[in-house]
Structure 1
Amino acid sequence: MTLEPEQMGQSQQELAYMLKALRKRAGLSGDRLAARCNISQSKISRIENGRVRPSLVDIERILTALDVPPRVAAEVSALARIANTEWQDARAMRRKGLDKKQWELAGLESSSTELRYFLLSMITGLLSTPEYIRATLSHVPGDHSNTIAKKLERQEVLYDRSKRFTFILTEQAARSPFVSPDAMAVQLDRLVSLSRLPNVRLAVLPMEIPLPGCPLNTFTIYDSRLSTVEISTGVMVFRDPRDVRDHFDEFSGYERHALFGDEAREKIEEWSAAFRS
């Protein structure tokens, strides 16, 4: 199924309208539908008013309760998948202010327990030094002091022992020289230091290690409920359990090949020494 960006912006309201129309066509009140599919009446109301994005499980239960024809069920399910996929345009994010995106990320980190990061081409803000963060924003016009401050503030979540973090960095991500050699060495030293936190697992994928498949994007998985994919023109947000599971399976494949613990630290220290020399 092709997902057009403009569809993603409109699909939730369209889905809400369609579900409400199907319920009325079936001659059911909101209360009766709620009882049939074991969803609270208040949630049914919020779904039909477009205030809550229903999960695909919610959709399946509602469609079963309404006993809709297969063709209609397929149409609604396709629309629901679009509604569970969000496109965040990079230009729009810059117009709003990149610091607003940092508030959103902080909210995701706060509400998640198990966070997995696959880093293809650069080091994520949670692991970055101030100089590295500043350099990665240098190509974007404007004052980024608020964004940098918020990125650094977000790093406090790494010390929350109730959360577990797994970071897998390719050699390209770890060694791409966004800052001077001395500053890159300091950045790599920070990776080694953070890898010793009890709730942080940090791994590297050196270039000599053959990988399962071909990694194309940086992505993050928040528990088992949501995954995000970063591309040069924006961010895709996936809530469809099938999409999240696919990202989890891809992550697990890299995890099986990556170097963790002392092996990872030894490799990172080798790279750091190369920058210092």
Structure 2
Amino acid sequence: MPSHPSSRVQKAREELAGRLREIRKDAGISGRELAVRCGWSESKSSRIENAKTPPSDADIKEWCRACAADDQAPDLIAANRQSADAHVQWRRLQRSGLRRVQESTGDLYQQTKIFRVYVSDVIPGFLQTPGYAAALLSSIADFRGTPDDVSDAVAARMRRNEVLSNGARRFSFVLEESVLRYRLCSAETMAAQLGHLLGVMDLQNVAVGLIPFSAQRAVWPMPTFTIFDDTKVHADTLDAAATLTQPSQVELYTRAFERLAQGAVRGAAARSLIADAVASLT
């Protein structure tokens, strides 16, 4: 099978193949012995190790069993699935405009019961007002040169965010204080956005924590990420939306979220930071 046309996917496949090869070597067996234990041809082992043929979930389980490394199978299976769909190129999604980007996560939002969101750059999409969202998405569309469908994208984001009012779902937000200060819109729009944030803090299923500039930190500020239940993480970069599903990756981001949350203030102290940010707009 030829290399995958996406360099990201091919690289992920090669990394997975390398991990499987190391597992075999650590077990001290040859490719021929592995094939015998797995009940398939030696050429199949070679194709998998050289990233010529992507293994199935069953292949990975059998490989790990043959190498007495069953505990590594869950991470490897998740990595195998990610190699095909974890990195969604923004340029592909945005080819038809930003509305498609908003709608692409709709099913995931409906399926998730517990959301944990850390942001260090902008007000989280869940908490944005239409005015703030319009200013932000307009900036994104201009930067990326995508079709101008900002109005439709904002409407799609607002529909997607209706999950926030579903009391059966729980949301925990941790925001850097800088998020309250960045000027991505007019002072009037930002004041309305900060007022909306104060209102959201009254919802019973929503917890908002703010990390003050002056806080003694246990961990450094990190790129924005969202954890969906205990199964998936979205971590955006400038060119891709990375969906991480390996148990070890989810555990890592969960630990990061917990450490960041330790430095956040809540309640009256958080409201005071927002009030100060509002006052600075005048």
Length-normalised TM-score, structure 2: 0.74
SS of the aligned residue for 1:259 comes to coil
CA distance in 2, matches of 1:97, 1:82: 29
Residue 26 of structure 1 aligns with an amino acid whose one-letter code is C
Pair 10,256 (structure 1): closer, same or farther in 2 beyond 3 Å: closer
Paired residue for 1:101?
101
> Which residue is 1:112 aligned to?
112
Structure 1 residue corresponding to 2:212, chosen from 206, 210, 231: 206
Unaligned runs of 5+ in 2: 21-33, 41-53
2:158 to 152, 161, 164: 152
SS state of the match for residue 179, structure 1? coil
In structure 2, do the counterparts of structure 1 residues 7 and 74 end up closer, same or farther at CA, with 3 Å as the change threshold? farther
Paired with 1:259 and 1:180, the residues of 2 have a C-alpha distance of 27
CA distance in 2, matches of 1:239, 1:11: 13
What value does the CA root-mean-square deviation take over the aligned residues?
3.4
**2:88 corresponds to which letter in structure 1?**
Q
1:132 corresponding residue in structure 2: 132
Cross-structure match for 2:27: none
Cα drift, residue 222 of structure 1? 0.4
Question: 1:262 and 1:144, CA in 2 relative to 1: closer, same or farther beyond 3 A?
Answer: same
Between Structure 1 and Structure 2, how many residues are aligned? 240
The question of whether the paired residues in 2 share the 8 Å contact of 1:99 and 1:146 is answered with: yes
Give yes or no for contact 1:238–1:244 (8 Å, CA) kept in 2. Answer: yes
Q: Residue 26 in 1 paired to residue 32 in 2?
A: no
Deviation at 1:198, TM superposition (A): 0.1
Question: In structure 2, what is the Cα distance between the partners aligned to 1:77 and 1:159?
Answer: 34
1:227-242 pair list within 5 angstroms: 227-242=233-248
Determine if the alignment matches structure 1 residue 263 to structure 2 residue 261.
Answer: no
Percent same amino acid at aligned positions?
A: 25
1:164 to 165, 170, 174: 170
- Secondary structure of the 1:165 match is strand
Q: Name 1:83's counterpart in structure 2.
A: 81
Q: CA deviation at 1:210?
A: 2.6
Give the whole-Å Cα distance in 1 for the aligned partners of 2:59 and 2:278. 51
Matches of 1:118 and 1:27, distance apart in 2? 46
Contact 1:59/1:80, CA 8 A, preserved across alignment: no
Aligned mates of 1:231, 1:167 — CA distance in 2: 20
> The residue matched to 1:202 in structure 2 has which SS?
strand
Q: Return 5+ residue gaps in structure 1 as ranges.
A: 29-49
Q: CA deviation at 1:26?
A: 3.5
Change (3 A) 1:171 1:225: same
Change (3 A) 1:7 1:261: same
Q: How far did residue 23 of structure 1 move?
A: 8.7
Whole-Å Cα distance in 1 between the matches of residues 238 and 174 of structure 2? 20
Name the counterpart of 1:42.
Answer: none
State the Cα deviation string for residues 47-106 of structure 1 (Å, max 9, x = none): xxx9xx85xxx77644355x2587xx9899768525336112222221143222222222
State how far apart, in whole Å, the 2-side matches of 1:203 and 1:155 are.
Answer: 19
TM-score, normalized by length of structure 1?
0.75
